[in-house]
Structure formats: structure tokens, C-alpha cells
Structure 1
């Protein structure tokens, strides 16, 4: 992990849109929408309102009236991994979808319209990790950052960084910055010098039941207090809070098994 506040802030390109390749949204698909809303509402203080329903029931997650992410309900016959999915901005979702295929990835959903707010694609990269691509109208996407309950960083956990980093560099034009540390396989992806995401090669530590996957870090005011709340609400603590150069960090799973990291700003 690198700068915790980097990717989800108001980094924008022309016409008020985020620069292509910038993480701009996070979304979670679950089986129990009401119970999941209750968990995150208690943990992060989110409120919910109905969102686009093209792919089934879906709710916007709000903080002080501002959108921070979305949670949708899977169809009963779909048994997909429950995971937070980052979405990356694009100015042309059709062209980006075609580029995903040409780069060796897969497009699983879309492009589809999202009730007047934009168009999206859900795909997977060359390592099998699922991600989204979002072409939104101005003002859409994650609207507040830097406070408790907001996305702070996104990181791809995979076997090794080289091949999948090439995929994302080709797709979004990222600059690659390897982190120089003995035994660490980590690459920071940058746009115009600004860090927007990380790729962490973990080798055989990669969970066999999950494979390559994106991990979203959410900012919290107090990591230790947040861990206690996770347990009280029926989630699991996977990695206890520990201090790092980027803040106090922990990893948890929600009641349906979705992984997320919590990061307390080191200020």
C-alpha cells in the first residue's frame, strides 16, 4: 500500500470527469442486501437510497448525502465470489471494453446503461481479477474522500506483478514504479506522477479459493475501534491492526465474506 488518500479524490480530466484510469467507484454484489446495508451502515455510518436497477436491486451508499459506493443484490441462482470491485474511469467505455479484450482480458458484463448516470463494463484482467470500467456523466462516482467510511486506496493482490501490470499500463496508460525493498514484489501505478493504485505480487500466499483480486482500503478514524465493531456486527478480523508508514492498517471480512482493509490516517 502507498499513499492512502491518493486514488479516489477529485482527480479529474476535462469536462469535470475523472482522468481515464483513475479509480472512481467501488461496488459490492451480495446475496443479502438488507443485512449487508445494516453492517456497513453501522460500521461506516452509511445511509442508502435506491440506485440503478438494470442488473437487479442496487443501492447507493451515502455519507452526509454524498455517494461513496454501491451495494447490489445477486440473483439467487448466481454463486459468484463476494468482493468489493473497483471501477476505473474512462472517456469511452466501448473503446475500453474492446481494449480489455485485445489485451487478453475478458468482458463479462456490458457495456450497459446505469439510469442516466453513465455506462459501465465489468471485466477481468489477465490474472482473473474482476474490475469495472465507468464512463460517468460529470459529478458521478465517489463524491467524498478523506473521512471515516470512504475508499482510500485500491490494490491488486496477485501471484506476480509483471504480466498483469503490463495489462493495466496498456489499458490506461499508467506509469509503473516498482517499490524497491528486499523480497517485496510491489508496483505502484501512477497517472502523471500521482499514485492511483498498487499491484502486490504475493506468490504462493495468494488464497487458492479466491485467486487474484482487488482489495479496497477504507479510511477509519480508529482502526482498533473499527475492528471491535466489525466483530460485533458479525464480520471477521483477518489481520489485526498494525502500524505501517501509511497508517494503522487491518484486514477484515464482512458477514458474506467480502474482503476489505481498514486504514487509520497516521496524522
Structure 2
């Protein structure tokens, strides 16, 4: 797979205190298999769907134990320049650009509304080897209580065009690259407990949404929303046993017409 255009979601990983528990959970729910851990890089272990690298899990470093969360990485041709743009536009760089061997350069950041995301400048590791197939990443949305901050920030840092979904029931923006959707932005409603901060919700593809939810809840996950039909697929939102939020979606089971969208000036 070629290096992705700037701003494209290109990788996802998460840190788990119960490393083996995470492997067992996602192995059962998403069908992942795992490569060998590399102690040189903190026992970082890649997950595979049908032999293709689709994500990674890693145990916490000493002192970093806490609630787990999935981190979405956005592609950058120059992580240092992207870090400067993040600061210049009101974001916070949580981890300065750091070279990871010959794999690439990573950084961690927070948008002005509080959503954490990663930046990845590819080296030999270019990112997802597969997307939108069972077990692989499919989509992501920035869930935020302050949408105006995220709406100004992301198109200033990345070459996005923003379009608003014309639906009075939700406040939703789609960020596009080269005319194609790459990232969503959803305003958090009162349905979200006040202690839940802004975050990036990652969707993984499954063959059958209801079956995946059943496997997840049997393995200790909490169902937050759904399963629900949509024009994009049948999906559900979950929290895994270690507190990491994620969603599953069956993109082959769709219902309803695609929503109208308008350009955001």
C-alpha cells in the first residue's frame, strides 16, 4: 500500500494493562491474529486480519497504566511541520515527533476540544495493509462537546474540506480529502455522561454486526448503542472490558438513502 495522502487515517493502536486479555478479546470479536512482540519497541504487537496488518496493541510502560483508549493516527509527510501546525491552531502536542527505528515518525496530539489523536510520518511502516474488510479499520469520528473548535482546527492542520450532513437530529460534519470522506465529527449529546471527554471513535469492520456484539458482550464488553441500521451499514458502539471505546460495522448491510450534505464555508 502506498503512503497515504496527508490527513488520511492510516493506523490505530491501543495500550492495555491486561495485554493477554486484550489479545483474547479482539481475537474473538474481530478475528485478529497477532505477530511477535518486539521488546525493542515496548512489546508492541501488530494485529492481523486475514494476514494483513490492521492495528496494534501494546502493554503500558511503567507509570502509564490507566484506562485504555484507541488512538487513530493521521498521515503526515512531515511530522515536525504537522506538530507546529497543531500548536499554531490551538491544539496541544502531547508527545513530540519521535522516530521509531526505520518504521516512521510518530507524534501524539490533542485538538482544542480535547480529542486525542496521533500523527504518523511513514517509513517502512506505511500503515493499514487493509481497510473496510472484516477485522480491519473502516471509519472514525471525532466525538466532541465543542464542535466549533474541532471544525476550525482539523481543516487548518490538514487539507480537509468540510461538509455538513443535513439532518436536524444530529450535528455532524464530514471531512473530505480529494472529494472522498475520511473522517467524521459528531457533536456529543446529553446521552454521553458528563465525565466522558472528547475522543476519536474508531470503527472496525465485521461480517455480522449482531454476532460481533454478542461475542463482545459475552467477553465482557458493554454495549453503548445499537445495533442500528444506516445507509453506511449496520453498526454498534461498545466499550471493551478495559474501558476502550470502539464501534463495529457491517458495511454490506445498509438501509435508507445517503444523507444530503452541504459545503461548510
Alignment of 1:232-243 (within 5 A): 232-243=218-229
Match of 2:103 in 1: 117
What's the secondary structure of 2:20's corresponding residue?
helix
What's the secondary structure of 2:229's corresponding residue?
strand
Residue 191, structure 1, aligned to residue 177, structure 2: yes
Alignment of 1:58-97 (within 5 A): 58-97=44-83
Match of 2:165 in 1: 179
Match of 1:128 in 2: 114
Match of 2:137 in 1: 151
Could you tell me how far apart the structure 2 residues matched to 1:245 and 1:118 are? 36
Q: TM-score, normalised by structure 2?
A: 0.90
What's the secondary structure of 2:47's corresponding residue?
strand
Q: Which runs of 5+ in 2 are unaligned?
A: 254-265
1:166–1:60 CA distance, 2 compared to 1 (3 A)? same
Deviations 1:166-185 (A, max 9, x none): 10000002101011111421
Q: By how many angstroms is 1:127 displaced? A: 0.7
Could you tell me how far apart the structure 1 residues matched to 2:88 and 2:40 are? 27
Q: Which runs of 5+ in 1 are unaligned?
A: 1-9, 11-15
Residue 201, structure 1, aligned to residue 187, structure 2: yes
Q: CA RMSD in A?
A: 1.8
1:202–1:59 CA distance, 2 compared to 1 (3 A)? same
Residues 17 and 139 in structure 1, CA contact (< 8 A), matched pair in contact too? no
Q: By how many angstroms is 1:238 displaced? A: 1.8
Residues 38 and 44 in structure 2, CA contact (< 8 A), matched pair in contact too? yes
Residues 140 and 203 in structure 2, CA contact (< 8 A), matched pair in contact too? yes
| Counterpart among 92, 101, 104 of residue 106 in structure 1 | 92
Match of 2:261 in 1: none
Q: By how many angstroms is 1:54 displaced? A: 6.1
Aligned residues: 253
What's the secondary structure of 2:112's corresponding residue?
coil
Match of 1:212 in 2: 198
4+ residue runs of structure 1 moved beyond 6 angstroms?
none
Residues 17 and 138 in structure 1, CA contact (< 8 A), matched pair in contact too? no
Residue 161, structure 1, aligned to residue 147, structure 2: yes
Q: By how many angstroms is 1:44 displaced? A: 1.4
Match of 1:3 in 2: none
Could you tell me how far apart the structure 2 residues matched to 1:146 and 1:103 are? 31
Q: TM-score, normalised by structure 1?
A: 0.89
| Counterpart among 13, 20, 25 of residue 27 in structure 1 | 13
Could you tell me how far apart the structure 1 residues matched to 2:77 and 2:26 are? 31
Residues 135 and 206 in structure 2, CA contact (< 8 A), matched pair in contact too? yes
Residues 156 and 215 in structure 1, CA contact (< 8 A), matched pair in contact too? yes
